[in-house]
Amino acid sequence: MARVGVFVCFCGANIADFVDVPTVVEEAKKIRDVKFAIDYKYMCSDPGQQMIRDAIVQHRLTSIVVAACSPRMHEKTFRKALSDAGMNPYLLECANIREHSSWVHQKDKKGATDKAGDLVRMAVAKSIANEQLHEISVPVTKRALVIGGGIAGIQAALDIADARIPVTLVERSPSIGGRMSQLDETFPTLDCSQCILTPKMVDVASHPYIELIPYSEVIELDGYVGNYKAKIRKKASYVNFKTCTGCGACSQKCPVKVPNEYNMGIDKRKAIYTPFPQAVPNKPVIDAEHCTYLLKGKCGICAKVCEKGSIDYKMVDEVIEREIGAVVVATGYDLWDATPYEEYGVGRYKDIINSLEFERMVSANGPTGGVPVRPSDGKVPKTVVFIKCVGSRDKAKGIEFCSKICCMYTAKHAILLHHKVHDSRAYIFYMDIRAAGKGYEEFVNRAQVETGAVYLRGRVSKIYQKGDKLMVRGEDGQLGQEVEVEADLVVLATAVIPDKGNPALARLLGISYDKYGYLSEAHPKLRPVETAKAGIFLAGCTQAPKDIPETVAQASACAAKVCGLFAGDTIKKDPMVSTVSKEFCSGCQNCVKVCPYQAIVTEDIPLGHGAKEMRTVAKINEGVCQGCGSCVAICRSMAINLAGFTDPQIINEIVAI
């Protein structure tokens, strides 16, 4: 005979304002199998949990229903309360009367209360059929894969490796360093980006626990938490890194010039190149798309000048495999292309550049020797207009969100401009100055006071050319007056967008992404570095725009998560997985096709007891199974059973209402 306990939560005012909680308790008491029902302000708090623990013992309860928030929120909390009272934790059922009732029926308290009552009735009925389940243990491969070698990937790799856990760091370009290596000085302290980054890059290369695989991409990921298998394509570099000394003779002599990505296309690199002097590894690669020899079979100069004979035109892409237990994704950001801003003449005027281009110009190792110049005539600009929110906070032409970092780096740009061109003046068009961060507001203040940067509140409406000036027209909201600034150079703080490869990467990793291509975290507040797929974590701008301090913090958080996951020799997994009743399985293999996790394989079993003929049936790998239930729904023979969601449980729920 079932003895069910029902615990209804007020959730402060979240539930109680729109659902009459005492009524729900009274309704619950009317259910035959309910032997105890009570409400409390915060059921998840310790006193609330204590009520559950006490009731289990006092009333000899056989299953528990907690009517509160979403099980995604607190199912684990309440399961633990059950265990502590000596009860199997899977005898818990959550009735979600917050997200499913109070929040969505705020205008109808009676209706919301009735619905909450129904949800409780269903949960009670289901709980009666609940079975005792036990966590599954799976072994762990203690190696982490980090995708992306910017500051996020570097930090995560170093922190994990420092805990003596092996790391494989895969970087798409020939060198690690990422966007941060392109920056000049960094806010709010103006320390040199290279000075603080390059030592870390060197650490990565020399760390005994880090395997750095540059010029490579992850192309496949199979398996499940603790037991992933990754395929990595190493792009042919056409240079034997083992013998190459990095002398640079090949690049010097190479006759092919290609726009230099590191310098945002402001100058040229060669077809055989090292991205920048401080690159790690400091070895050149041949860019196959532009190399004359690889394209046409002529030239071969690099091979001739290489004293070590390290050039190998016959090199081909290579696919390698690594077994790993966890993945950190850190693919970084890109800048939005501002071409849709036709009113600014983007693309028509050479003297409109974006902020990374400006960053390269003022950078000491940049193409202009650290001095900003006008691309049109090479002159040093005296009046520079910075426009913030280009593409950001613009749902008409760009993206809706705030790119977060532009307010700060634009203040930095004003200061750097002043440092490089003393008699210059920065005009900054802004909508709001968002300087929330340690030392940030002070930094903006410094830009305004020390350099005289003029802040004008308004969005620029038009840019047009007059003589050799660009006329920048906007409203100065403070004056309530239209203004036109005669500018020599215009710098657009264009929106921060995720790497365009994110959706494809997300699909191959089996994680989700938002409409902009940012990878999605498991919970916006409480699980910001985890993805919904166990064992895959996010660091840096791949998840949302972030500055360096935040990126580093998130990367270290990923490392802590990975270390935690690898702390034991096995990891525990929810027992909500499917099992196949072999005797009923017809071997149609529809379940194999629908399983989104590739958790179902087939096996051959004897046709009958002791028979020699074999037949094929489905077999589920419980380590991989995520308990989605697709196989249960498709199985015509009703041979598959999902623990925690068995047919009797579901039928009970339906019958209850």
Partner 1 sequence: MITLSYKGKNAFLEAVNKKSGADVLECYQCGKCVSTCPVSNFMDFPPREIMQMIKLELKEETLMANSTWFCLTCSACSGRCPREINIPAVMEAVRHLAIEENFTPDSKQVKNIRKFHEIFLDMIKRYGRNYELRMMAEFNIRTRNLFKDMHLAPTALLKGKIPLGVKPLKSKKAIKKMYEMAEKLEKQNK
Partner 2 sequence: MKEVSYFPGCSAHGTSEEFDETVKMVMKTMDVEMEEIPDWNCCGATSAHTLSESLSYALPLRNLVLAEKLSNDTMTIPCASCYQRMKATKVHMDENPELAARINTAVVGEGNYEGKVAIKSMLQYCYEDMGLEAIKAKVTNPISGMKLACYYGCLLTRPKAITQFDSPEYPMSMDRIVEALGAKATPFDFKTECCGASFSISDTDIVLQLSGKILEMAKESGAHAIVVACPLCQSNLDMRQHDIEKKYHVKYDLPVFYLTQLMAIAFGFPKAKMMFAKHIIPVDSALAHIGEVIEEPKKPVKGKKAVQAESEVE
Q: Which residues in this chain contact partner 1 in the complex, by CB under 8 A?
A: 343, 393-398, 431, 457-462, 473-475, 477, 480, 482-483
Alpha carbon separation from 60 to 1, 3, 35, 126, 488 (Å, rounded): 11, 7, 9, 18, 81
Rounded CA gap, 434 and 328, in Å? Answer: 29
| 564 near partner 2, judged by CB under 8 A | no
Q: For residues 342 and 400, which CB has a smaller minimum distance to partner 2 in the complex?
A: 342
Instruction: Check residue 521 for interaction with partner 2 (CB under 8 A).
Output: no
Question: Which of the ranges 163-171, 194-202, 255-263, 428-436 carries the binding residues for partner 2, by CB under 8 A?
Answer: 255-263
Nearest distance in Å: CB 342, partner 2: 4
Stretch in the footprint of partner 2 (CB under 8 A) among 160-168, 185-193, 276-284, 346-354: 346-354
Q: Kindly state the smallest distance separating residue 395's Cβ from partner 2, in Å.
A: 15
Stretch that binds partner 2, among 26-34, 207-215, 262-270, 603-611 (CB under 8 A): 262-270
Given the structure tokens 């390290």, which residue do they identify?
310
Residue 593 neighbours by CB under 8 Å, 6+ apart:
634
Give min distance, CB of 161 to partner 1, in A.
45
Q: Is 292 in the site for partner 2 (CB under 8 A)?
A: yes
Task: Say if residue 355 is exposed, middle or buried (CB neighbours under 10 Å; 0-12, 13-18, 19+).
Answer: buried
Asked if residues 375 and 351 have their Cβ atoms less than 8 Å apart, the reply is yes
Which of 257, 500, 523, 593 forms a contact with partner 2 (CB under 8 A)?
Answer: 257
Q: Does 271 bind partner 2 (CB under 8 A)?
A: yes
User: With binding defined as CB under 8 A, does residue 378 bind partner 2?
Assistant: yes
Q: Which residue's CB is nearer to partner 1, number 253 or number 393? A: 393
Q: Which stretch binds partner 2 (CB under 8 A): 48-56, 260-268, 331-339, 625-633?
A: 260-268
Cβ 342 to partner 1, closest distance in Å?
Answer: 9
Interface residue with partner 2 among 235, 290, 425, 561 (CB under 8 A) is 290
* HEC letters along 220-254: EEEEECCEEEEEEEECCCCECCCCCCCCCHHHHHC
**Closest residue by Cα to residue 427 from 380, 484, 374, 466:** 484
Site membership for partner 2, residue 488 (CB under 8 A): no
Reduced to 3 states (helix: H, G, I; strand: E, B; else coil), residue 280 is coil
Residue 182 near residue 356 (C-beta atoms within 8 A): yes
Q: Residue 354 or residue 451: which is nearer to partner 2 going by CB?
A: 354
Which of 22, 199, 277, 347 is close enough to bind partner 2 by CB under 8 A?
Answer: 347
Can residue 586 be called a binding residue for partner 2 (CB under 8 A)?
no
Amino acid at site 318: E
Q: Smallest gap, in angstroms, from Cβ of residue 392 to partner 1?
A: 9
Q: What is the 3-state secondary structure (H, E, C) of 604-649?
A: EEECCCCCCCEEEEEEECCCCCCCCCHHHHHCCCCCEEECCCCHHH
Q: Could you tell me if 324 and 145 are in contact, meaning their C-beta atoms sit under 8 angstroms apart? A: yes
Q: Does position 265 bind partner 2 by CB under 8 A?
A: yes
> Does the protein bind partner 2 through residue 376 (CB under 8 A)?
yes
Detail the DSSP E strand segments found in 414-453.
425-430
For residue 311, which amino acid is it? I
Give the integer Cα–Cα distance in Å for 99 and 72: 11
- Helix, strand or coil, per DSSP, at residue 552: helix
Q: Among the candidate windows 32-40, 188-196, 369-377, 380-388, which touches partner 2 by CB under 8 A? A: 369-377
Q: Where along the sequence are the contacts to partner 2 (CB under 8 A)? A: 255-259, 264-266, 268, 271, 290, 292, 342-343, 345, 347-348, 350, 357, 375-378, 462, 464-467
